[in-house]
Amino acid sequence: MPQDPALAALAGAPRLSLALLERLFDALPDVVFFAKDARGRYTHANQTLLDRLRLTKRAQLVGRRTDELFPGGLGDRYREQDERLLRDGVEIAGQLELHLYPNRAPGWCLTHKLAWREATRIVGLVGLSRDLVTPGLSHATPPATYARVARVVERLQRDYAEPLQIGALAREAGLSIAQLERHVTQLYRVTPRQLLARARLDAALALLAGDASIAGIAHACGYTDHSAFARQFRRSTGVSPRDWRALRPA
């Protein structure tokens, strides 16, 4: 059978290099792009990160970890995050956290990190952080509000196994439900309830790769009712948890 010309062209296309991505992200002053090796040391970074660290050459950054470059506890927190990802390979998606702005003042950003794999081995990570406020411009959302939203999002992503109530989380953060839903939807394009459902589903998918019972997985992911877990899982994936497990390669 003749090969599809489009597939043939794709197979022969050059692989996008990190160096090329580095140059591409140089054009985005509100986005930090970086890549690190298996020990969490920088291998690539765009100009935005160099400017914020007040470095003039990429060579000043390559081979160093975040705790050697960022002030205070920021560097330690980033290093711990990197170590978890490099150890477990779990994607970090939409982490609401503090970063440095060009004037070295802290500001809020959304961070995404992915494990860099060759075959089945993790050889490093790639990531980016997008500013939530463009430095020098006014913004309707004060930084204190981002801190409150960050506390709620952290609870949703960390404590998904608990019987969390969105209204209670909003009150604890000093926000109304409407305020919380508006800010989370603006940042993540999903509601707080959807964000919680996604955290629970991600945990369930990871557990289904093991040998735990379906009922045990439902309980571990915050569902008191096994049938409710099965319904939610089917709505999200199109199959039941048991069928999903059966699809897993031997």
pLDDT of 6 > 60? The answer is no
How many other CB atoms are found less than 10 A from the CB of residue 38?
13
Per-residue confidence (pLDDT) for residue 187, from 0 to 100 = 79
Tell me the H-state helices in 104-176. Answer: 143-158, 166-172
Strand order, beta sheet including 31-37: 42-45, 31-37, 121-131, 106-118, 92-100
pLDDT of 172 > 80? The answer is yes
Per-residue confidence (pLDDT) for residue 245, from 0 to 100 = 87
Residue pLDDT, tens place only, 22-47: 999 999 988 999 999 999 999 999 99
Give SS3 for 117.
strand
pTM for the predicted model, two decimal places = 0.62
Mean pLDDT of the chain: 84
Rounded Cα distance, 212 and 181, in Å:
34
DSSP 8-state code for residue 133: S
pLDDT of 8 > 90? The answer is no
Residue pLDDT, tens place only, 76-121: 889 999 999 999 888 888 787 777 776 666 677 888 999 999 888 9
Predicted confidence band at 175 (pLDDT cuts at 50, 70, 90)?
Answer: very high
Contacts with 90 (C-beta within 8 Å, 6 or more apart), sequence order: 84, 115, 206
Helix (H) or strand (E) holding 6: helix 5-11
Predicted confidence band at 217 (pLDDT cuts at 50, 70, 90)?
Answer: very high
Catalogue all structural domains in the chain, each as residue range(s) with its CATH number.
17-131 (3.30.450.20), 143-247 (1.10.10.60)
Rounded Cα distance, 26 and 172, in Å:
40
Per-residue confidence (pLDDT) for residue 9, from 0 to 100 = 47
Burial class (CB in 10 A: 0-12, 13-18, 19+), 106: middle
Per-residue confidence (pLDDT) for residue 69, from 0 to 100 = 93
